Structure 1
Amino acid sequence: QWADRTITDYRPLFETLSDSMSQGLQLSDDLPTGDPMAAMMANLTQMMGPMMLGMTTGSMVGHLARRALGGFDLPVPRAADAPILVLLRNVDEFGDAWSLDRDDLRLWVCLHEVAHQTVFNVPHVRERLTDLLQRHAAAFESDPARITDQLGGFDPMAGPEALADMQNSLSNPELVLGAVRSPAQEAIQPELTALVAAMTGYIDWVMDSIGESLIGSYGMVTEALRRRRVEADASDRFVERILGLELDAEQYDRGTAFAGGVVERAGAEGLRRLFDDPAHLPTPNEVDAPGLWLARIDLPT
C-alpha cells in the first residue's frame, strides 16, 4: 500500500522526469551514417529515458519502502487527500535497534506525519514547492555521449549475459543522472533548498513545542530520529539528488536557526506568518537572516 500510494503521489514528478530525459537523450550528428550499430543506438537512445526512469522509479520506491517510517521521510507534497502513512514494521525495527519505547516512537512518527501534511496542504506552500520540484525535474539534462560510450559495445546477438549487462548499465544511477547538474537546475536549487529548510525548520519547532508534553521520552526519540535523517547512505542520496533535494545536517541546522531566530524576535505568531500569504515565503538570503524576513513582511504593501 505504501509503495502504491507513493508511486501515485509522485507520478507527476516521475512523468516530468521521463519527458525531460527523453528530450535530453539525443545522439550527436557526427555518428557514422550507414552503420547498423549506430542506427540501433540512435533508436535505443530515443527509448532510453522512459526505460531508465522506469527502472530507477521502481528501485527508488523499493528502497524508500524498506527504510521509510512514514509518508514524509522526503519533504515532497502528496495528494491533498492522501491518508497518513506509517510503516509500523520499519518504525518498530528502528525503535528496537535504538532501544526506544515503541509507543513513544509511534506517537512521534504520527505527529511528524500530521505536521508535514498540515504544512504541505497550505495552498501557497504546496504550489510553490511543487512548482520548484517540477521545474527541477523538467530541467534534467542527460549525457548522451556518456550513455553511448557505456552501451556502445553492446551486441544484441551476444546472448542473455549481454542483455543482463545492459540492464545493469541502464539501472546505474549515475548513468540516469548524467555527470553534472544542469545550469537550469543550479539556478533553481537555492530557492528549493531554502524553502525546504524553512518548512522543515518550522515542523521541527512545532514538534519541539508540543512533543515534551505528549511523549515521555521525547528527547531520546528526537535525538535518534534526527540523527537518522542525516546519516543517509548512497541510495538515499541518489533519491534526494534525482528529486533536487539537499537533506544534509547543514540544511536542517539552517532551518532550525531560521525558525529559532524568528521566534526569538517575533514569537510563535511571527513564525506562523509564513502561512498567511504567498509573499511571506522566505528567500534564500532571508532563511539565513530571519530578521531580514521579518522586516520585509512588515513593509507596507
Structure 2
Amino acid sequence: MDIFRSVRTVTGASGTGYVDWSAVADAAKDGTAPGELTLTDAEREGYATDVRDARDRLRRLGGVEFDLPETVEIQNRHHWIDANVDTFRRVMAPMEAKGPEVLLPDVSRVVNTGTCTLLLAFLGRNVLGQYDPLLLAEADPADREHCLYFVHPNIVSVADDLDVSRPRFRRWIAFHEVSHAAEFGAAPWLSTHLETRLERGIDGLVAGDLDREAFRELDTAMTAVEGYAELLMDRAFDDDYADLRAKLDARRQGGGPVARLARRLLGLGLKRRQYERGAAFFEAVADARGLTGASAVWDRPENLPTDAELDAPERWLARVDGA
C-alpha cells in the first residue's frame, strides 16, 4: 500500500471526461493492501461447498428455479476494485455524455477522480461478497454473464475481528450472495426493471431535475430484493445467525470520521433500512402463504410491492391473490 503514490496518481488525473477512470483504478489499489489470497485446499473446497449447498437449499425451500453465475471468483481486494471500476464508469457515463460544461474542468476532474478513488478503496477494504448482475452493461440483460465474488481477505479479517468461526462466517456470506442469484435467476426481467429506473433518475439529474418517482421505484424494488434475500437466508441457512448479524452491524457502526462519511455517501444506512423493511414485509407474506407464495413477487414486474404495500403486506396479498 502506497498512499503517497495514490495521491500523486489522483492529482495527475488527465483526459477529457469528468473522471480519469484509469487513475481511479490505479490510485484505489495503491491506497489499499491487496490482502492474502493463498487458500488451502480445504478453504477452496469450503467456498465451493458453501455455494453449492446454498443453491440446493434455496431451490428446494424457496421453490425458485435458478442457476449459479458462470463466474464465481474468490478475489483479493485489488481484484474486486478492478471488477467494480467498470460499474462506477457505467453509472457515470450518462452524466459524462450529457452533462453541462463545468468551470475549471481539470480541477473538477481531479476532485471527481479523488472521490471515486476514496469510495472504491473504502468498499474494497470492506465488501465481503457481491452478486453482480452487471447493471447498465452494453449487452442485452439476457446475454450478460452475471458474476459472484467473494473477497477472501475481508472475510478472514472480519471473521477474526468478530471472533467467529471463519468457515461459519464464510458460509453465511455465501448463502446471502447466492440468495441474490436466486432472485435474478427467478426474475429475468429484474435487471431491466432496475436499469430503467436508474437511467430515468440519472437522466433527470443530468437535466438538472430530480425524478423522485424513479428513485422511489428503484428504492422500492431494491427493498424487495434485499428483503427477499433476508427471508431466504433466514429459512435456508443451516444455523442461527443472529449473533453474526448483531456483531457485524455493531462493527459497521464504528470506525472513524472518514468511514462514517463514506457510509453516508454510499447510502449504507439506507441499505440496512431496506434489509429491515423488506424482511418484515416478506416475513409477513411467508407466514401467510409460505415461501412459495412469497416467491410470487418474481413472477412478473407487476407483482413487485408498491412503497405503501411494503408497510401493509396484507394489501399486497389481496392484490396478487386477486390478479
> What range is the shorter-chain TM-score in?
0.5 to 0.7
Q: TM-score, normalised by structure 1?
A: 0.67
Read off the aligned partner of 2:198 and give its amino acid letter: L
Of the three residues 81, 89, 100, the one matched with 2:145 is 81
Residue 127 (structure 1) aligned with residue 192 (structure 2): yes
Larger strand fraction of residues: 2
Residue 198 (structure 1) aligned with residue 228 (structure 2): no
Match of 1:71 in 2: 130
Match of 1:15 in 2: 93
Q: TM-score, normalised by structure 2?
A: 0.63
Match of 1:164 in 2: none
CA 1:128 to 1:225, structure 2 compared with 1: closer, same or farther past 3 Å?
farther
Read off the aligned partner of 1:292 and give its amino acid letter: R
The correspondence of residues 18-37 of structure 1 with structure 2, limited to 5 A, is 18-19=96-97, 22-23=99-100, 25=101
Residue 91 (structure 1) aligned with residue 155 (structure 2): yes
Q: Percent of aligned positions with the same letter in both sequences? A: 26
CA 1:8 to 1:76, structure 2 compared with 1: closer, same or farther past 3 Å?
closer
Residue 58 (structure 1) aligned with residue 108 (structure 2): no
Larger radius of gyration: 1
Of the three residues 257, 262, 286, the one matched with 2:285 is 262
Match of 1:163 in 2: none
Across the aligned residues of Structure 1 and Structure 2, the Cα RMSD in angstroms comes to 3.0
Separation of aligned partners in 1, 2:91 and 2:303: 26
TM-fit CA distance, 1:102: 0.4
Judge conservation of contact 2:230–2:275 (CA < 8 Å) in 1. Answer: no
Match of 1:246 in 2: 270
Match of 2:176 in 1: 112
Aligned residues: 234
Read off the aligned partner of 1:94 and give its amino acid letter: V
Residue 140 (structure 1) aligned with residue 205 (structure 2): yes
Of the three residues 62, 73, 81, the one matched with 1:3 is 81
Match of 1:223 in 2: 246
CA 1:114 to 1:5, structure 2 compared with 1: closer, same or farther past 3 Å?
same
TM-fit CA distance, 1:69: 0.8
CA 1:48 to 1:198, structure 2 compared with 1: closer, same or farther past 3 Å?
farther
Please state whether the residue corresponding to 2:266 is helix, strand or coil.
helix
Judge conservation of contact 2:133–2:191 (CA < 8 Å) in 1. Answer: no
Please state whether the residue corresponding to 1:100 is helix, strand or coil.
coil
